Amino acid sequence: MPPLPLSHYAILTSMLAPALFLTATAALLTTANSRLARMVDRARGLMRELADNDDPAERVVIEKRIALQRTRSRMLLRASQLFYVAISCFVGTSLSIAGDALLGHRLSQLPTLLAVLGVLSMLTASVVLAREASLAVAAVNHEMDDAHARAHRLHRPPPAP
């Protein structure tokens, strides 16, 4: 088999960077989807707690927790959408690199534009995901604080006579 011309090597080599970004983006998308699944489970648990609870003060606390989960779900959805945009841009980058070579370099700016859009989408999604992680930790901290306070109220020694 004769060796491929240098231009084919150059094309294949230039398609490696988008492929690496594609892999990284897919891993982050998997993380976002996993976080979404855990958030949905927690929201369903909170909705069951709300349905089973008659204490007005506790219901207010649970409703606030549900509202926080709703905010998290929107953020996770937005991050996932941005990751999908990034994946599309990286695939488009690879295709446009090959297309540019086949069409006589008429698409010379398109691969760069798609790569930049992909990286910006990935960056934005990562920032949104980091913010959502902060909300998740804050939610857990609030729940621990509430459980601690509730335990102290339930196990408080009776007042001295």
Phi then psi for residue 4, to 5 deg, are -70, 150
Taking the CA atoms of the chain, what radius of gyration do you get in angstroms? 25
| pLDDT on residue 15 | 66
Tell whether the model's pLDDT for residue 45 goes beyond 90: yes
Domain boundaries, the chain: 7-154
Which of 14-18, 122-126, 142-146, 157-161 ranks highest by mean pLDDT? 122-126
Tokens encoding 54: 């008659």
Q: Is the pLDDT of residue 5 over 60?
A: no
Helix (H, G, I), strand (E, B) or coil at 99: helix
Tell me, what's the pLDDT at 152? 83
Residue 2 is predicted with a pLDDT of 55
What does the pLDDT look like over 7-32, one tens digit per residue?
Answer: 665 666 666 777 788 889 999 999 99
Average pLDDT over residues 87-98: 87
Q: What is the pLDDT of residues 56-67, one digit of tens each?
A: 989 999 999 999
Choose among 25, 3, 21: nearest CA to 111: 21
